[in-house]
Amino acid sequence: MSELEKLRKKRSPHRRSATKSITKVQELRDAGDGEGNEDKRGQAEAIKTELQEKLELLKKLDDEILELMYEKEENDVIDKEMQEAADYKQRILCSLFSLEGFLRKLSANAPTEPRRSSLSESLSSSAGRVRVKLPKLKIRKFSGRIHEWNEFWDAFYSAVHLNDDLLDVDKLKYQRGYLEDSARSVISGIPTTGASYSIAVDILKKRFDKPNVIQREHINQLINLPPVFGERNISRLRQMLDQVEIHKRGLEVMEVDVSSYSSFVVPLLMDKLPESKTEHDPVC
């Protein structure tokens, strides 16, 4: 048996074990929180540790296998091996993101929405609500791209949702004004009444407020950034850097540890950068 075959044989049970752990993550999330949360927390932490260890071990084995393949195999065989390894890594990373969200949910003791400030409380205790013209707000419109949901909702929540000088029917109008494309169509059939505002908020949250999906989409956006051809294309390089920063900050806001995805994403991003063709004088 060749060294390459031995490494593949060694890797197979670890892949099967990782697949079983991924299945356990889904089962744990399907069970939800509630009675026995401490037991579920323990199970989730154990699976998380196991997946992290498998991720490191599989990465090491994949690297050893690819190193041997570079000496003997054709490019198309190597490409297939790299894609298969990347698929396993992505599945494990997605499960780790899912576990992080589940653990945060179990640990959540505070209300899901931020507490009103003393100023908001004093306003709500004033004598009745009045219709006012809201100042022009700088809120980016939300088109349904799920990784942009948190940015939109945080801005809208602060500027409109918590504004006690607005009636709910006015809040609904503003909400519709900041939605477009598929996001607007989600609540298109709702009548413009005060009672409909809370219904519209619930519908939008159920559709877009999905931390695990948002995390995966940030990762996908990073992975699928277009490559830059030519080191002199400064504008494209800046655009790429801006996008990397946007998605990195989005993941940081969701408390996703950069170490959980950097080993997979950074090499892919490096491959999208142009090779430097600058010739340097030899060092004497």
Write down the pTM of the prediction: 0.42
Contacts of 24 (CB under 8 A, 6+ apart): 43, 47
The CA distance from 212 to 94, in Å, is 8
All residues at 6 or more sequence positions from 272 whose CB lies less than 8 Å from its CB, including other chains: 225, 226, 227, 228, 240
What's the pLDDT score for residue 189? 81
Look at residue 279 in the predicted model and tell me its pLDDT.
45
For each successive 10 residues of the chain (284 residues), what is the average pLDDT? 86 90 83 70 85 87 81 73 81 80 68 46 44 58 86 86 88 90 87 89 89 81 77 74 80 75 76 62 40
For residue 66, the tally of other CB atoms under 10 A from its CB is 15
Which pLDDT score, from 0 to 100, does residue 89 have?
83
* CA distance linking residue 264 with residue 259, whole number of Å: 9
Tokens linked to 168: 């709910």
**pLDDT at residue 123, as a whole number:** 42
Confirm if 165 and 129 have CB atoms less than 8 A apart: yes
pLDDT at 116: 45
